[in-house]
């Protein structure tokens, strides 16, 4: 698991993107330009979309821990890791609040859903910017800074536009933010996978050199 978290995260992000994209075609009763993604958590195929949320929530936690471990000690920061954990938990709450929770009224469930969704968006975009900035301090990860940081900033700006500019359709505004976030998460997971593969290859090479060869007969 320690050297495969990047692959697991990448597969999870890809699964989330695929299911949510398919839901846009499988739910003709919803106008994809008007309906936010949370509308797809209930009704036909809602279980699949909720499952995709749960998978991505796990991936956020794994990605935070994986990136923290992959960077050199001087480049690490607990802040983005913890923010990704918060985002993962909040995303799980966002999905589960669409399952008719016991002991909560509809209004209470709706308020909890909105709070969890807001926490997810703010936490993940802030974590993306902070984590991208930390790449600059690691010689191995510095090559990714030029793409990671502008994309993270663009995601944060898109979130602000979504929150304060009400004129465009809500679904289009929200899904534009989600696309940017998912793109950053997918890239970060892929980079983590590549770095973990290099570590595994280096460990294998070191072990091979350390193994004594039998004397020639």
| 185: nearest Cα among 103, 35, 71, 84 | 84
Residue bearing the bigger pLDDT, 2 or 35? 35
- Boundaries of domain holding 62: 5-197
Q: Is 92 a member of any domain? A: yes
The pLDDT, as a whole number, for residue 200 is 81
Q: Is 17 a member of any domain? A: yes
Q: Is 42 a member of any domain? A: yes
The pLDDT, as a whole number, for residue 154 is 98
Other C-beta atoms lying within 10 Å of the C-beta of residue 77: 17
Q: How far from chain centre, in Å, is Cα 171?
A: 20
- Which CATH number fits the domain that encloses residue 97? 1.20.1070
CA distance 213 to 4: 30
- Report how many domains make up the chain: 1
- For residue range 130-175, what is the model confidence (pLDDT) as tens digits? 999 999 999 999 999 999 999 999 999 999 999 998 888 999 999 9
- For residue range 174-206, what is the model confidence (pLDDT) as tens digits? 999 999 999 999 999 999 999 999 888 877 777
- For residue range 49-94, what is the model confidence (pLDDT) as tens digits? 999 999 999 999 999 999 999 999 999 999 999 999 999 999 999 9
Q: Is 37 a member of any domain? A: yes
Q: Is 208 a member of any domain? A: no
Q: Is 202 a member of any domain? A: no
Q: Is 204 a member of any domain? A: no
């Amino acid at each position: 698991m320690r050297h495969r978290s990047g692959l697991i995260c990448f597969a999870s992000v890809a699964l989330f993107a695929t299911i949510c994209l398919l839901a846009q075609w499988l739910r003709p009763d919803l106008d994809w330009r008007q309906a936010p993604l949370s509308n797809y958590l209930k009704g036909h195929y809602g279980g699949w979309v909720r499952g995709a949320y749960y998978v991505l929530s796990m991936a956020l936690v794994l990605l935070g821990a994986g990136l923290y471990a992959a960077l050199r000690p001087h480049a690490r920061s607990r802040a983005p890791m913890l923010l990704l954990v918060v985002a993962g938990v909040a995303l799980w709450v966002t999905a589960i609040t669409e399952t008719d929770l016991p002991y909560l009224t509809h209004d209470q469930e709706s308020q909890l859903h909105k709070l969890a969704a807001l926490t997810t968006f703010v936490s993940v975009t802030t974590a993306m910017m902070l984590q991208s900035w930390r790449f600059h301090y690691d010689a191995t990860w510095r090559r990714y800074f030029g793409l990671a940081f502008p994309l993270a900033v663009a995601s944060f700006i898109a979130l602000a536009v979504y929150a304060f500019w009400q004129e465009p359709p809500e679904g289009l505004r929200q899904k534009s933010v989600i696309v940017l976030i998912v793109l950053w998460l997918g890239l970060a997971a892929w980079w983590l996978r590549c770095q973990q593969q290099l570590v595994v290859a280096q460990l294998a090479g070191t072990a091979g050199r350390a193994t004594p060869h039998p004397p020639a007969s």
